[in-house]
Amino acid sequence: MKHKGKLYFRYGTMGSAKTALLLTTAYNFEERGMKYACLKPIIDTRDKINVIKSRIGIQRECSWIYHDTDLYQFAIELFEKENTAFDWFLIDEAQFLSPEQVDQLSRIVDDFGCNVVCYGLRTDFKTNLFEGSRRLFEIADTIDEIKSTCNCGNKTIVNARIDSNGDFVVEGAQVEIGGDDRYIAVCRKCWRNKRIEQAERNSLPFFETEKILNKQ
């Protein structure tokens, strides 16, 4: 009987140790002699080389996922090269996958019985879903939230983009790669209160910032 795999989506805000969990999982698989592959969209090239690297300093080599990579074909070629199927695929920054690539991952699960675990953000700095995350919410077998805590004690919800003064940014492209200097994870209440304070400081009615934020 063919092994039944699953498509997992494990999401959390920035700084919730998603990458560290992925790398710890990879290490455990390696200790058990399991076949696995780590992959990452090339849109995040802060480390310049094909590695997945966590904030705590651990890292592991990975394969790049390009915007036109067919992940189903990638898996077939990998199996042929290694002369064996793989037990697990671990995907970092899965929010940057296209919906088609998420569907390709689901085919890997269904056709080959592999397990695919996607780690990533749920929403952008405007609280809108990323395309890859949206598709994972639609078709993943198992969805888990990796929780972290706001400075106020509430659960973080928003990946707020900040400027050089520490103010929240409400306009800009959905994707802007950055670390602690550009993003901070906060709860929904703190996110709203900070924007109200900014609006009052800039003599701009809060509803005007809301219109900017929600502008498509």
Cα distance between residue 112 and residue 110, in whole Å: 6
Q: How many angstroms separate the Cα of 101 from the Cα of each of 1, 54, 65?
A: 27, 24, 9
* Both tokens assigned to 80: 């042929």
Do residues 68 and 42 lie in contact, with contact meaning Cβ atoms separated by under 8 Å? no
How is the chain split among helix, strand and coil, in percent rounded to 5?
Answer: 35, 20, 45
Active site residue 100: no
- Residue appearing with tokens 């039944």: 4
The active-site residue, picked from 31, 93, 138, 176, is 93
Strands (E) across the chain are located at 7-11, 36-41, 51-53, 59-61, 63-65, 88-91, 115-120, 142-145, 158-161, 183-186
Catalytic residue ranges:
93
